[in-house]
Structures are given as C-alpha cells and as structure tokens.
Amino acid sequence: MEDLYSIHPGISRRGEGGAACSVASGVAGDASSPPPPPSPADLTELMKAQIAGHRRYPSLLSAYIECRKVGAPPEVASLLEEIGRPERRGGGAAAAGEIGLDPELDEFMEAYCRLLSRYKEELSRPLDEAASFLTTIRSQFTKLCGGGATATSPHSGVMFAMEGNVQGRRVPGRRPDQGWKGGIGKSGLEPG
C-alpha cells in the first residue's frame, strides 16, 4: 500500500500530514507552500490502483460477474465464466494488498461484496419464481393432456403433440362439418 501512496507526491500518507507535503514538494520544512492539489484524473487512477491491488478484489470481481450472469444467455454466461477464472484475471496483483493498511477501503470492499451478493439474490428471485411457475404449468398441462403433450424444448411443437390426442374426439363448440381452416371469416372472428 505504501507504493500506492507514492504514486502521486501530493497525496500524504496517513498520519504524516504536512511532513509528506514538504518531502513531496522538495522543500524541507516549508509547510506554508503546499504542492498544487492532484488532478481528479490522478485521484481516480490512484483509487483504481488501490481497489485493484486490494486483497478482496478477486471476490469483488467474482461477485460482480455472478450478478452479470443472472439471466444472461448461455453464450454470455460462459464468456463471463471464462473472464472470471482466477488464472485468466492475473491474480498476482490482487494478492499483494494487505488488509488493515486502509480500514476505509477494507470496509468499502467488504460492504460492496455483500451488496453485490444481495443484489444477485434479488436479481435471481424473479427468474427462479418464473422457472418454478413454468415447471408447475408444464406438469399441469401434461396431466390435463394425459401425458401426450411432452415437449423437449420451449419452442417445440406442443400444439402438434396435443393435436394427435384431439383427433377423433369431438371438440366442444364446433360442428363436425366445420373445417379448422374454414372457420375464420373476413373479420377474423366470424364463423365460416
């Protein structure tokens, strides 16, 4: 972490106050002329380096990737899985950080990991409920059709499988002499 503080000479180390400023500016003992404040871009880069070098960064990245995988198509999910592999990320820089040197950053990293974990749960809940609902509907549909309407995929011909069970039976509300295709008039609603 000491290396990160030395990235920009205008940022003082914890507990050193004005001494760091005078050493960084090259003026010994002259606390009256502090160096110019660092630019926002420099501070942003410093924060990025501190976060990327933190020991909890791999778990933060993993939690973020897990959030992104929720509801993603299989191709995207596998790509995210590939990105999330530790050997692909290059975990060497993350292992260098030590917990305790910057308690505020430690607290931030832990809180953000917890937040991402809860967010993933919240994102997953409606999808899990929908999947459960569809499974229930499919089993009820199968029971109603006597097991003849089993589909192997969501877009397979369920109606075609059901048609095989309906043939030979009288469908309520239709005359036997009325054809399936001839029953629609010009308005689309009139019987033929």
What's the whole-model pTM score? Answer: 0.51
- Give the tens place of pLDDT for each residue, 39-82: 888 899 999 999 999 999 999 999 999 999 999 999 999 999 99
Q: Which two three-digit tokens encode residue 159?
A: 């109606």
Distances in whole angstroms, Cα of residue 7 to Cα of each of 2, 11, 18, 48: 9, 8, 17, 12
CA–CA separation, 18 and 137 (whole Å): 70
Residue 186 has pLDDT above 60, yes or no: no
CA–CA separation, 107 and 100 (whole Å): 10
Mean pLDDT along residues 81-103: 66
- Give the tens place of pLDDT for each residue, 123-174: 999 999 999 999 999 999 999 998 655 555 555 444 444 444 444 445 455 5
Helices (H), the chain: 2-5, 18-25, 40-52, 57-69, 74-84, 86-89, 103-144, 158-166
DSSP string, 129-147: HHHHHHHHHHHHHHHHTTT
